[in-house]
Amino acid sequence: DVKVTQSSRYLVKRTGEKVFLECVQDMDHENMFWYRQDPGLGLRLIYFSYDVKMKEKGDIPEGYSVSREKKERFSLILESASTNQTSMYLCASSHAQWDNSPLHFGNGTRLTVT
């Protein structure tokens, strides 16, 4: 079974801090994604990557950056955390195919910015 591991289940950070959310997958997937999930808004795509060192903006990239130095690891960076970035963050991965293959999700990181 594919395993997508997010480094923290819960994080509490202060406004202005730099925050790193780490995600590792063990199935050699080419594609990796970061979503945030908020009540009533569903999942919104922040960034995705289809290869090492490649990244593409999703629908809400402002205030975030990403890093993909190795195929198995995709990091989400909050350069200067703000209270409106309090949310559940979900990492996912999938095989690269010409059409969408199923996404495999981690269990999420619930981030609180105070």
Partner 1 sequence: SQQGEEDPQALSIQEGENATMNCSYKTSINNLQWYRQNSGRGLVHLILIRSNEREKHSGRLRVTLDTSKKSSSLLITASQAADTASYFCATDENTGGFKTIFGAGTRLFVKA
- Shortest distance (Å) from residue 10 CB to partner 1: 10
Give the chain's largest Cα–Cα span.
42
Which of 26, 28, 56, 79 touches partner 1 (CB under 8 A)?
A: 56
100 binds partner 1 (CB under 8 A): yes
Which residues lie below 8 Å from residue 9, measured CB to CB, with a gap of 6+?
107, 108, 109, 110
Which of 66, 81, 92, 111 touches partner 1 (CB under 8 A)?
A: 92
- Shortest distance (Å) from residue 6 CB to partner 1: 8
3-state class (DSSP) for residue 85: helix
14 versus 50: smaller Cβ distance to partner 1: 50
Instruction: Cite the beta strand spans of the chain per DSSP E.
Output: 4-6, 10-13, 19-21, 23-25, 31-38, 42-49, 56-57, 64-70, 73-78, 87-94, 104-105, 109-113
86 binds partner 1 (CB under 8 A): no
Question: Which residues contact partner 1 by CB under 8 A?
Answer: 4, 31, 33, 35, 40-45, 48, 50, 56, 58-59, 90, 92, 94, 97-100, 102-108, 110
